[in-house]
């Protein structure tokens, strides 16, 4: 039984794409036609716009399923799947903000260029997330173990039939998926590792972004100038065409997003296997990340306990994946648990604040150089 919106309403995909394209054109072509330093007020309005649009779209998801598929119960399930995937991606993306700060600091990127870097970085993320999500959905179809019995327990229910439920009374459970089980183990490991790093029990590697994969890739293709040339990706020096550090920074940001996707993409597969819900929620979360960066960059010290919450979320999602064949945790419950953890971590950050100076010192310790020209 396939209840994906892709099958029910192909035209909705076109509408979604049109809305995203219009918003991006307005962002770059109208409101940010000229490179400038984004104010907190501007970032706030853009954050409100993206979150409002994301929430409105979740209403569309509910309406479509309620009208054309399984009625109210399935519509609520799909609605909460979208909400869960969106907020999980949004929360995990906050970690990106710390890395963005490090990258911009390392390369001494002028503040008026931050928006352009993040804009082009997001466009790359849209493509790579699509590849990861749709490839993942395809791969999951072919990695379920055959039905088997062990200790009187039968693992043979069709995981694609959403009308079925596992039964402890009849000892009848869903087939086990190898990839999802590996994802679950990985997320538990990632959660434990993240907790240790947040607590300072595990030393984090120093960041030398000039030797990152993205920076090396740009240097392999072009000579890179020492200085920025406004908002240009290329410049001419002594008659030679050279890449500017701006192109290097974008490449580093793209690679950074790929690395963070290693955590976030497996996490959302614990929520849903519907590619449309996964991709649309992911895209809305990523598109809102740019404005969130400008809104929170000066207040990131107010979220000092959030890394602990994110670590717990990763471990919970990994555990949910492992027990999925025998115990189904409904999407509304998952959403409540994840939301509760994140809210608690923010509250604890406010009650036990970390000063901006403390955070700045931590960020400085992560850098091996003061800038590109060192």
The predicted pLDDT at position 170 comes to 72
For residue 240, the cross-strand partners are: 237
| pTM for the predicted model, two decimal places | 0.83
Where along the chain do its domains lie?
Answer: 5-366
The predicted pLDDT at position 367 comes to 47
The predicted pLDDT at position 317 comes to 93
The predicted pLDDT at position 332 comes to 86
- What angle is formed at CA 147 by the lines to CA 320 and CA 274, rounded to 5 degrees? 45
Sign, Cα dihedral of 343, 114, 212, 363: negative
CA–CA distances in Å: residue 111 to residues 105, 138, 294: 10, 41, 10
The predicted pLDDT at position 206 comes to 58
Gyration radius (Cα) of the chain, Å: 22
The predicted pLDDT at position 372 comes to 39
The predicted pLDDT at position 312 comes to 93
The parts of the chain modelled with pLDDT lower than 70 are 1-8, 27-36, 68-70, 162-164, 169, 201-207, 298, 301, 355-374
The predicted pLDDT at position 289 comes to 83
3-state secondary structure 133-196: HHHHHHHHHCCECCCEEECCEEEEECCCCCCCCCECCCCEEECCEHHHHHHHHHHHHHHHHHHH
Q: Can you say how many angstroms the Cα of residue 215 is from the centroid of all Cα atoms in its chain? A: 22
């Amino acid at each position: 039984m396939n209840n994906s919106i892709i099958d029910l309403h192909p035209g909705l995909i076109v509408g979604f794409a049109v809305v995203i394209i219009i918003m991006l054109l307005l962002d770059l072509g109208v409101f940010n036609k000229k490179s400038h330093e984004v104010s907190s007020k501007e970032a706030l309005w853009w954050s409100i716009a993206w979150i409002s649009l994301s929430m409105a779209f979740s209403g569309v998801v509910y309406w479509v399923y309620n009208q054309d598929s399984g009625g109210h119960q399935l519509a609520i399930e799909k609605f909460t799947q979208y909400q869960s995937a969106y907020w999980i991606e949004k929360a995990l993306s906050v970690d990106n903000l710390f890395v963005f700060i490090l990258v911009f600091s390392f390369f001494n990127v002028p503040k008026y260029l931050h928006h352009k870097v993040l804009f082009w970085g997001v466009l790359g993320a849209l493509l790579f997330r699509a590849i990861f999500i749709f490839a993942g959905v395809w791969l999951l179809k072919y990695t379920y173990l055959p039905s088997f019995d062990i200790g009187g327990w039968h693992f043979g229910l069709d995981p694609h039939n959403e009308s079925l439920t596992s039964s402890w009374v009849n000892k009848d459970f869903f087939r086990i998926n190898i990839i999802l089980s590996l994802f679950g183990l990985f997320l538990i490991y990632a959660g434990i590792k993240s907790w240790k790093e947040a607590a300072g029990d595990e030393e984090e590697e120093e960041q030398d972004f000039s030797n990152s994969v993205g920076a090396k890739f740009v240097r392999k293709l072009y000579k890179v100038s020492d200085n920025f040339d406004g908002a240009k990706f290329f410049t001419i020096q002594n008659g030679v065409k050279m890449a500017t550090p701006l192109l290097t920074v974008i490449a580093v940001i793209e690679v950074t997003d790929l690395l963070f996707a290693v955590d976030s993409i497996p996490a959302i597969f614990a929520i849903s296997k519907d590619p449309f819900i996964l991709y649309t929620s992911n895209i809305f979360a990523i598109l809102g990340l740019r404005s969130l960066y400008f809104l929170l960059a000066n207040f990131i010290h107010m979220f000092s306990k959030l890394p602990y919450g994110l670590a717990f979320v990763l471990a919970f999602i990994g555990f949910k994946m492992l027990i999925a064949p025998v115990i189904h945790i409904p999407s509304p419950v998952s959403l409540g648990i994840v939301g509760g953890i994140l809210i608690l971590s923010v509250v604890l950050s406010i009650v036990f604040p970390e000063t901006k100076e403390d955070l700045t010192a931590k960020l400085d310790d992560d850098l091996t150089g003061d800038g590109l020209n060192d």
